[in-house]
Amino acid sequence: MSARQDAARRWARAPWWAQSLLVWAVSRIWAWAVFSTVGRQQGPGPWGDGALGYLEFTGTWDSDWYERIAREGYPSSLPRDGSGQVQENAWAFYPVFPLVVRAVSAGTGAGWDVAASAVSLAASLGAVLLVHRLFLRFAPPATALWGLAFVAFGPVSPVLQVPYAESLHLALLAGALLLVVRGEHLAAAPVVLLMCLTRPAGVPFAAALGITWLVRSVRRHRAGELRRAVDAADGLLALAVFTCAAAMAWPAIAWAVTGEPRAYTDTETAWRGGGGLVPVVPWFDAAAGLFGPALGLAAPVLLVAGAAALLRARAVRERLDLLTRTWLACYAVYLLLFLHPQTSTFRLLLPLFPLALPLAAVSDSRAYRVACVVSGAVLQLVWVGWLWHWKQLPGGGDYPP
């Protein structure tokens, strides 16, 4: 047996958590190299007059908002301009991540950059472990590990180690899916609550739970397992109802503190120039701006058709369970209804991470899988170089990551 074959056999026999740890370590080192390389090319901008170090560079953009929340909390009244329009403010950012960082900073004496980066990095490790554990329920160990690598080296995965809430949310989302798949609905409740207070994904998660419960109940009824409607009430239904309440918690808190019922939604739409929350239409507006009026009408329709075909693909149906597929559909619909498409959309696709598993399962060719991982790693340079690197636009500002 050659040394290479022996090493491969030892790697295959390693505990799943050790494999996760190695994938996490290599992917985080690569992301550090990407940020460090791009940061050294930075010119004058809002965060400095020239090249930025790793912590300085990753502490830009929305990290400023989280730092302000950790230090000052949330405003008791919404800032408005002269015409009464709500301005950008902290209520758009959910509280769990900045509060965790504040606690770590208070306990260790570390500044924001160090404490926030450490929290994100630790959360990314938790996310990798939980994603791997979830994938192991749906696929053989080798395929599950490759699926994990696809997530860890994905084009936007560098965001998992910057002072944003993405890594913490990914860990909580993967943990919630894993617990529900196991049938541990009571244990999932606190995880779901924290998830709903970390990033705005509670509504699609509640919908996914409710639809899954309904489909399972219909199947049980047809199989003769349900004699009375009351028999359908179970832990999954209770968790779905609880998640609905948890999803509304942050808008309700914003209302209670500011006294304005639409405090959260008005704050969110402030980044769009105001005008209120209009479902779906922004996708057509953005497509028209990119492709012109004719193709702009067709592009969102084609996007929806492509997404539907993807979710019905054989690899997706064979590798993912009903709940996970329903989550993918509900989150995609949520983005279609409420997202204002822009450059930040790329990182908002991260909760669709379960698609990495069927993507890895499409072929067991090592060349194919390595090519996917390498492609993701290279695209990280494109994503960070394009969006994190500040470049003044002619009209002012820059595209946000």
Boundaries of domain holding 45: 27-76+89-257+278-388
Residue 226 three-state SS: coil
Rounded mean pLDDT for each run of 10 residues along the chain, 401 residues in total: 72 91 98 97 92 96 97 96 92 98 97 97 98 98 98 98 98 98 98 98 98 95 83 93 98 98 94 80 92 91 96 97 98 95 96 98 97 98 95 87 94
**Per-residue pLDDT, 6:** 74
- The span from the CA of 329 to the CA of 308, in Å, is 8
The answer to whether position 8 is within a domain reads no
Residues 202, 203, 208, CA angle at the centre, nearest 5°? 95
- The span from the CA of 107 to the CA of 118, in Å, is 13
For residue 261, give both structure tokens: 């019922």
The answer to whether position 360 is within a domain reads yes
Collect all residues with Cβ–Cβ distance below 8 Å to 313 and sequence separation of at least 6: 358
Please state the domain count of the chain. Answer: 1
For residue 41, give both structure tokens: 């090319």
The answer to whether position 271 is within a domain reads no
**Per-residue pLDDT, 1:** 58
Collect all residues with Cβ–Cβ distance below 8 Å to 209 and sequence separation of at least 6: 180, 236, 239, 240, 243, 323
Question: Quick check: 180 and 236 in contact, CB under 8 A?
Answer: yes
Of 124, 125, 143, the C-alpha closest to 135 is 143
The answer to whether position 382 is within a domain reads yes
Of 119, 159, 189, 136, the C-alpha closest to 34 is 159
When computed from its CA atoms, the radius of gyration of the chain, rounded to whole angstroms, is 22
The answer to whether position 20 is within a domain reads no
Q: What is the DSSP letter of 80?
A: B
The answer to whether position 268 is within a domain reads no
- Measure Cα distances from 43 to 28, 35, 54 in Å: 25, 14, 15
The answer to whether position 330 is within a domain reads yes
The answer to whether position 343 is within a domain reads yes
Place of tokens 């397992």: 225
**Per-residue pLDDT, 328:** 98
